[in-house]
Amino acid sequence: MVHLVNYDFQYDDAYALKKIVPTRDVRLRLASADWREAVLLTADSAPVRLPVRAQELVLPEVRIHAALALTKDEKAMAEILDLVVRQ
């Protein structure tokens, strides 16, 4: 599991959140070739499966925070997605 946090946001004088600047096309290089499946989990959208190619993947967008679940096979990924859907 990888947790990503984007600190590119702005507050007004009363510390109310004014603007979130999403970070796009976040590229990750994985240390191991064992990771074959990935899914991006965020609070404001459905899980997004991401292709892992040559130990690299690209996250399309991170707003405030996101989690990236990595697995070694399709069966483990299906179990993760099943848990997320039941939440």
Per-domain residue ranges of the chain = 2-86
CA distance 42 to 25: 15
Average pLDDT value for the chain:
90
CA distance 67 to 31: 18
pLDDT, position 86:
64
Q: Place 87 in a pLDDT band, splitting at 50, 70 and 90.
A: low
Task: Judge whether residue 64 has pLDDT over 80.
Answer: yes
Model-level pTM? 0.81
pLDDT, position 45:
87
